[in-house]
Structure 1
Amino acid sequence: MTSFNQTFRATIHPKLRTVNAFLFFNLLAVILTMLYAIWENGFTNLEMIGPVVLWGGLFCLAAFVRVTLKSERVLVSDTYRLLPVSEWVLYLANLATSFVALVYMGLVQLVLLVIGSAMNGSAVRAWIRQYMNLNLTAADWHQFQVYGLSICGYAIAILLWSWVFITLIHFATDAISAFIPGSSQRIVKGILAVLLTWGVIAFLNWVGALAGKLIRLISNVGTFNMAFNFVTIIAAIVVVSLLNVYLMKHWVEARY
């Protein structure tokens, strides 16, 4: 049987190539924007943090979409489905490589943001002088660490939930197309579309409410059971992943 590490290596390379391509065009866009800004305003008035954030956000979104498409193709590809590997190993390795690829993209964006901030000049330096030279107590630092880790944890959980939910819709659609007669597919897909719309709206409302609670908590104007909500979304990820693996094993056939 193929091990998890071997499956991970096999599925990570195409995604890293995709991310590297987006990073190349991202860097090119930032450089061209910088040259234009220097031409218009001169080097002394160069402000790059805005363009770095703008281009970074656009290319990160594009990379997320592209990596997600590649991830979904892996799960229905003959190249990977015919490997001597269990469905669970393939599913988890595919999910892990997608996550690693986007983390890599995010780290590079962070480096670009630091460089852009250094070139930003007055605005960032004024912000640092105003907010970063405070005398923080040990309790303040502990609170900062807790909030920072909580936000990172929720961001990771929401990202993973997005992927497992997309896979569930993908597999459900494939199963309907393959095993339900053509005359009934339209009705079932219509019901699925309604459920999907409801699920997306409910998820976006939940994310919005979560963001509001975190902001109020950080601002010391509210309370929030972070552990319960985090465990809830992790449990949802596990349950949907179990369903995805079941569908992949019994209902979803390789197509490519």
Structure 2
Amino acid sequence: MTGKQLTPQNATITTATIQVQALTIGKKQVTLAVFRQLQEAALISDNGTLIGEPWGIVNYHPDKCADAPAHLHVVWQHGDVLQRSAVQMPGVGRHSHPIADLYVQARIIYGTIHRRHAQPEAGDSLHLSEKTPGGWRIFTKGRFRHDGMDFEGAVPDRLRKEWNRFEGTVSNEDRRAFEMALTMLGISPAEPVDQITAKLLAMLPTEQYRATVVELTQLPQLFIAV
């Protein structure tokens, strides 16, 4: 495999006479097999900006994700390493974010979502539980829509079990840990619940994420060999 590993040092982008840009190693065009060996890593940070330097888009789905919601496969450089990233389009897919985790946890801890509902109630996009043959269960991730983007927020396993077991109540320990996280963000736990959740939603970088994705869609398409 010596000489076939794709790195920023041996990879180049060449332009043919018909303006087709190819990703190459030395003088040889990169193959699908080599492209699949690139490590998958997030290109967009939690604040919605780029982590590294994007090279271009490859119209190939190495993880058999062609039928998944619209996304871009971007080749990008992080330091001395080339990586690839499946970037979700803003209006589709489900986006993970630490603030989304806190928003879902806030709704649970402060009791602003009813424990038993299979679909969000009127005016509320948060979908957190479902009815099963054995009763109701809370998801490991709550799903909600904000500013045109769908997010999913993780629910810690202990919190989920407590909420199920004790009919919607949570321990003081979980509440204290959550309130400490709020304080670190500059949000006072003493504020009204609706203000806390509104501030958390406002911290989600939806506009910056959209701007970054628009920037990525302008990248050249990189062609690789079959």
TM-score tier (shorter):
under 0.3
Q: Normalising by structure 1, report the TM-score.
A: 0.22
Q: Normalising by structure 2, report the TM-score.
A: 0.24
More helix by share: 1
More strand by share: 2
